[in-house]
């Protein structure tokens, strides 16, 4: 007779007949902002989720068709304790038009993207502009952005046919930028990066490298599989998920890659967080799944009150996965915001 645990394992691996894992969804109240599709980013401060983005301004022409008239920065904070949003006074308009990245330093939210370099202190409710640098004159929209505990690092990125292979670091303590040494990687517009607590691991295509801030050197890692859009540090592995059911893990201690079981049918890793014991992913037609590392198997959970077409940002609070974002409407440039919190079983 199969044990209950073995049965769950087989169901998760096959995705056939698997019932949704227990867990609770709760819809978030309406947020006071609705940023456009590629211009939203968030951090968890330990008490609240801070969200920054850009909102597309539109008007109608003589035929009733919308056209762009400009952009404005928008920001808000969500407090799970009170289940409420508050709109933040945003910084002045920036020139950026590409994706945004952000990190939490323990004191400030640093927002970084092409044409946008900002810091927000929630205690003082104040924004400040990060300093400029000659390192950012040609290329300021770095990708694979991480926080090391001391610096914000970024490498690669690009736009409009350009793929860059340089990297920079910003230190809040000195309020200065510095160049990273040249990486053993070809330029890449969409690299993935993660901080392990010791190294900055960057994957660009099928090549991977690790940067040590302590030694200020890069080293080449074993060749990577075709990874997709998310990189998450899971305590001892870097886990990569994306727009498909595929997922991979890289273990720095052994310098080896391995494929993980396919996600259950109808799921994809658009959103991925580590809760200290399980990897939680959400995306696709049917919702999410959690990877139980002891079983090396996915356990599905329901989609919740969120549309599959949600273009999202997310945060892990310590007890809940917050998924929030925008859904395209029939009117170009206009998004309908929505969000929910998923509380996994303990």
Helix/strand number for the chain, H first, E second: 1, 28
Label residue 2 by pLDDT band (50, 70, 90). very low
65 pLDDT exceeds 90?
A: no
What is the rounded distance in angstroms from the CA atom of residue 173 to the CA atom of residue 89? 25
Burial class (CB in 10 A: 0-12, 13-18, 19+), 92: exposed
Minimal CA–CA distance to 303: which of 325, 319, 318, 281?
281
Mean pLDDT of 247-254: 96
- 38: tokens are 């590629």
Q: 């109808």: which residue's tokens?
A: 266
pLDDT at residue 171 in the model: 98
Neighbours of 70 (CB within 10 A): 10
Q: What is the mean pLDDT of residues 42-56?
A: 93
In the predicted model, what is the mean pLDDT of residues 254-280?
Answer: 94
Please state the domain extents for the chain.
1-30+264-346
pLDDT at 196: 98
Angle formed at CA 242 by CA 145 and CA 222, multiple of 5 degrees:
70
Check whether 4 has a pLDDT greater than 70. no
Question: Per-residue pLDDT tens for 332-342?
Answer: 767 889 999 99
Average pLDDT over residues 13-38: 73
Mean pLDDT of the chain: 89
Q: Work out the end-to-end distance of the chain between its first and last CA atoms, rounded to an integer number of angstroms.
A: 27
The residue that leads in pLDDT, 141 or 184, is 184
188 has pLDDT over 60: yes
Give residue 19's pLDDT: 52
Is this structure's pTM higher than 0.85? Answer: yes
The fraction of the chain above a pLDDT of 90, given in percent, is 68
Most confident option among 54-68, 273-287, 291-305: 273-287
pLDDT > 60? residue 267: yes
Residues sharing a CB contact under 8 Å with residue 214, sequence separation 6 or more, in sequence order: none
Say whether pLDDT at 255 is over 80: yes
| DSSP, res 13 | H
3-state secondary structure of 11: helix
Q: Which two tokens stand for residue 311?
A: 């273009």
Residues 6+ apart with CB under 8 A from 324: 28, 31, 42, 49, 51, 78, 312, 313, 314, 337, 338, 339, 340
Please report the pLDDT score of residue 61 as a whole number. 81
**Residue pLDDT, tens place only, 92-145:** 877 776 689 999 999 999 999 988 999 999 999 999 999 999 999 888 889 999
pLDDT tier for residue 59 given thresholds of 50, 70 and 90: confident
The whole-angstrom distance between residue 113's C-alpha and the CA centroid of its chain comes to 14
Which backbone phi and psi does 195 adopt, to 5 degrees?
Answer: -105, 125
| Interval 201-246: pLDDT, tens | 999 999 999 999 999 999 999 999 988 789 999 999 999 999 899 9
Higher pLDDT, 160 or 195: 195
- What does the pLDDT average to over 2-9? 39
What confidence tens digit (pLDDT) does each residue in 310-332 have? Answer: 888 999 999 999 999 988 887 77
Q: What is the pLDDT of residue 21?
A: 61
Please count the residues of the chain: 346
Q: Among the residues of 57-139, which ranges form H helices?
A: none
């Amino acid at each position: 007779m199969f044990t209950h645990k073995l049965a769950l394992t087989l169901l998760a691996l096959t995705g056939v007949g698997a019932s949704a894992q227990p867990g609770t969804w709760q819809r978030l109240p309406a947020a006071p902002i609705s940023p456009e599709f590629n211009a939203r980013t968030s951090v968890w401060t330990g008490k609240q989720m801070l969200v920054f983005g850009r909102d597309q301004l539109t008007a109608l022409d003589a035929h009733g068709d919308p056209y762009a008239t400009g952009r404005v920065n928008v920001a808000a904070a969500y407090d799970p304790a009170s289940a409420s949003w508050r709109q933040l006074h945003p910084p002045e308009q920036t020139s950026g038009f590409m994706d945004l990245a952000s990190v939490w330093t323990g004191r400030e939210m640093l927002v970084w993207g092409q044409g946008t370099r900002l810091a927000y202190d929630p205690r003082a409710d104040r924004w400040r502009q990060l300093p400029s640098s000659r390192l950012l004159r040609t290329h300021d929209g770095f990708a694979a952005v991480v926080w090391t505990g001391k610096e914000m690092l970024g490498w690669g990125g690009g736009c409009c046919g350009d793929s860059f292979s340089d990297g920079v670091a910003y230190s809040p303590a000195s309020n200065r930028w510095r160049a990273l040494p040249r990486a053993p990687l070809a330029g890449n517009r969409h690299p993935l990066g993660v901080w392990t607590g010791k190294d900055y691991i960057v994957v660009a295509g099928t090549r991977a490298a690790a940067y040590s801030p302590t030694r200020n050197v890069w080293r080449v890692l074993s060749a990577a599989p075709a990874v997709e859009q998310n990189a998450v540090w899971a305590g001892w592995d870097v886990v990569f998920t994306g727009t498909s059911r595929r997922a991979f893990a890289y273990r720095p201690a052994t310098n080896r890659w391995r494929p993980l079981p396919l996600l259950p049918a109808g799921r994809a890793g658009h959103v991925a967080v580590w809760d200290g014991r399980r990897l939680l992913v959400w995306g696709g037609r049917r919702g999410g799944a959690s990877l139980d590392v002891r079983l090396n198997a996915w356990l599905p959970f329901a989609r919740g009150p969120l549309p599959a077409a949600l273009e999202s940002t997310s945060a892990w609070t310590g007890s809940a996965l917050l998924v929030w974002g925008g859904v395209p409407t029939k009117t170009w440039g206009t998004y309908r915001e929505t969000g929910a919190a998923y509380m996994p079983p303990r």
